[in-house]
Amino acid sequence: MTQFKMHLLVCGGTGCRASESEKLFHNLKHEILEKGLENEVQVITTGCFGFCEKGPIVKVMPDNTFYTQVKPEDAIDIIAEHVIKGRQVTRLLYVNPETEQHVSDSKHMGFYRKQLRIALRNCGFIDPENIEEYISRDGYAALAKCLTEMTPAQVIEEMKKSGLRGRGGGGFPTGLKWEITSKSQSDQKYVVCNADEGDPGAFMDRSILEGDPHSVIEAMAICGYCIGASKGIVYIRAEYPLAVERLKIAMKQSVEYGLLGKNIFGTDFGFEIDIRYGAGAFVCGEETALIHSMEGLRGEPTIKPPFPSVSGYLEKPTNVNNVETFANVPVIINKGADWFASIGSEKSKGTKVFALAGKINNVGLIEVPMGTTLRDIIFEIGGGIKDGKKFKAVQTGGPSGGCLTEKHLDIAIDFDSLTAAGSMMGSGGMIVLDEDDCMVSIAKFYLDFTVEESCGKCAPCRIGNKRLNEMLEKICDGKGTMKDLDLLRNLSHVIKDTSLCGLGQTSPNPVLSTMDNFYDEYLAHIVDHKCPSGQCKALLQYVIEAENCVGCTACARNCPVNAIAGERKGVHVIDQASCIKCGACLEKCKFNAVFIK
């Protein structure tokens, strides 16, 4: 094997690929060949580094230099300066926004300092398409240990002791789930990996599958050993082509290395994995709906019990876990349950991956110990609110979750504290909102989503959410009444109490939590007919202040519907009847003459 002196790690996650990281990879390769360095320097594509805001990212090892926002043409400088002359390319280094100093090692960046990577341990470090790199970082050691040194019951005991809880949103203890499925009697059982990440704004499962697919494969095999299943199925979104491709490559390599198939590690245990594609239905994140979808049916949920652990796929006992849950398993076996249980809060052990997005400086994928405060996540790791605006709320748990405000910033987040605060962990989406966001519109946005994604099987979810949405629309249009507020709350509780599955039982959460925390905003829409953040189009008027208008005609020229009249060098006026409230005039005016009333 060639011993390379230097490794260039190029991020190949979907986000960075969208910013031409593939071309960058090829340019780096080309430069290396050109300079005859192919035996000394290796370039590899890795999974997501997490710091998507500053992508594409290139990391140079062994000196740990972390280059951000690298363009394909920067390959020349990286090779000529850094690789050959040993001088860092300063202009590509991350600049600390507070000190304005260049930072070359990611360890010293605010974004990474408070993170602890367990599920994402290999993302950004290894080439996901090369099984040997996974093996060199203790890959498949956990499977070997389980198969050759431990009984299934011992492994389950270890999982229970670790305190790992399901990362897909439910937070059910993983070890307990495995135990229940292991006790079901059947000739055939199934291990299912739920990779149908449907929460808009969450992309942690995809990043794990893109950056470290083997960890999921290894964990599924361990689970199979524990519950007595010889078959695993990954149910993955068809919208994730890159994750599918890397998973397929990883599965093929595992088979070639004898890590999947018959008689793994010379034991009697055999395990194989198959892929099933989702087709875009949020409700399929629910276990029973997911199983129906795998059977080729509409993804509608059914009443539990029977739980899938008793009767699931093809009516056989089935253990469904989420991608991130599986990614934690091999580490727990390797480092021990006590180690894992020492991280996190009292009732939620380990770490959680969050997709941090919205009005925040450092958008990206982060992993922090359970019990980290929202303040640390948003202001330290996230680098605060974009454009110096004021923090308003953070939405966690996606369409099933709620909004948390300033007063919640110091709670130590875990499964239970988030639920107690009126939101939930969910799969880990975390959307930061600033003063410009209208909370009624945000609630409506999530309800739009739920209405579209409701499978329609049970009436409370199908009809109830539609009515909620209509009422919110009425309020956003300035036609709401105080009675609507009572109705909103009552109907929300009815939907929560009577819906069949998790989708309906949680769908009114965005409404309830915004009503609890931002009641005055609802009142402003209804009583004053005003949207305090100026987002609800029907409630605002664009007006030109005569004093400031110099008659430059910029607004009139950019108005898409010709609603602005006025002579050159004369005061302009907006015709409110034809104005579509697109805001183009406000954006174009250089004299602060356009304002929202």
Partner 1 sequence: MANIKISEQKVLQIEAICKEFNNEKGELINVLHKTQSLVGYLPAEVQEIISKNLNCSLAHIYGVVTFYSFFTMIPKGEFPISICMGTACYVRGAEKVLDEFKRILNVPVGQTTPDGKFSLSCLRCVGACGLAPVVMVGEKVYGRVSPDGVKDIIKEYKQA
- The answer for 217, left when phi > 0, alpha when psi is -120 to 50, beta otherwise, is alpha
Q: Which 142-201 positions form the footprint of partner 1 (CB under 8 A)?
A: 198-201
Query: What CA–CA distance (Å, rounded) separates 175 from 157?
Result: 7
- Tell me the three-class secondary structure of 332-371, residue by residue: HHHHCHHHHHCCECCCCECEEEEEEEECECCCEEEEEECC
Piece in contact with partner 1 (CB under 8 A), picked from 4-12, 253-261, 447-455, 467-475: 447-455
**Does position 428 bind partner 1 by CB under 8 A?**
no
Q: Find the shortest distance in angstroms from Cβ 69 to partner 1.
A: 11
Q: Which 43-62 positions form the footprint of partner 1 (CB under 8 A)?
A: 52-55
Q: Find the shortest distance in angstroms from Cβ 476 to partner 1.
A: 12
| CA atoms lying within 13 Å on the CB side of residue 462 | 7
Q: Find the shortest distance in angstroms from Cβ 293 to partner 1.
A: 7
Q: Which 385-424 positions form the footprint of partner 1 (CB under 8 A)?
A: 395, 398
Bridging pattern class, strands 231-237 and 190-195? parallel
Identify the residue among 429, 480, 508, 532 touching partner 1 (CB under 8 A).
429
Of the pair 215, 395, the CB lying nearest partner 1 is at 395
Query: What CA–CA distance (Å, rounded) separates 72 from 68?
Result: 12
**Does position 238 bind partner 1 by CB under 8 A?**
yes
Of the pair 173, 583, the CB lying nearest partner 1 is at 583
Query: What CA–CA distance (Å, rounded) separates 223 from 231?
Result: 10
How many residues of this chain bind partner 1 (CB under 8 A)?
A: 56
Query: What CA–CA distance (Å, rounded) separates 243 from 250?
Result: 10
Q: Which residues contact 85 (CB under 8 A, 6 or more apart)?
A: none
Q: Find the shortest distance in angstroms from Cβ 338 to partner 1.
A: 35
Piece in contact with partner 1 (CB under 8 A), picked from 113-121, 322-330, 519-527, 582-590: 582-590
Query: What CA–CA distance (Å, rounded) separates 319 from 310?
Result: 9
Piece in contact with partner 1 (CB under 8 A), picked from 72-80, 327-335, 408-416, 442-450: 442-450
Identify the residue among 449, 518, 522, 542 touching partner 1 (CB under 8 A).
449
Edge to edge, what strands does the sheet with 190-195 contain? 272-278, 231-237, 190-195, 318-322
Q: Which residues face 356 on adjacent strands? A: 364, 430
**Does position 363 bind partner 1 by CB under 8 A?**
yes
Q: Which of 447, 597, 595 is nearest to 512 (CA)?
A: 447
Residue pair 191/217 in contact (Cβ under 8 Å)? The answer is: no
Q: Which 329-358 positions form the footprint of partner 1 (CB under 8 A)?
A: 355, 357-358
Q: Which of 148, 123, 144 is nearest to 257 (CA)?
A: 144
Mask 268-307, x = binds partner 1 (CB under 8 A)? --------xxxxxxx----------x-xxxxx--------
Q: Find the shortest distance in angstroms from Cβ 298 to partner 1.
A: 4
**Does position 15 bind partner 1 by CB under 8 A?**
yes
Piece in contact with partner 1 (CB under 8 A), picked from 168-176, 232-240, 517-525, 563-571: 232-240
Interaction site with partner 1 (CB under 8 A): 14-15, 17-19, 52-55, 198-203, 206-207, 238-240, 276-282, 293, 295-299, 314, 355, 357-359, 363-364, 395, 398, 429, 431, 433, 437, 442, 445-446, 449, 452, 455, 560, 582-584
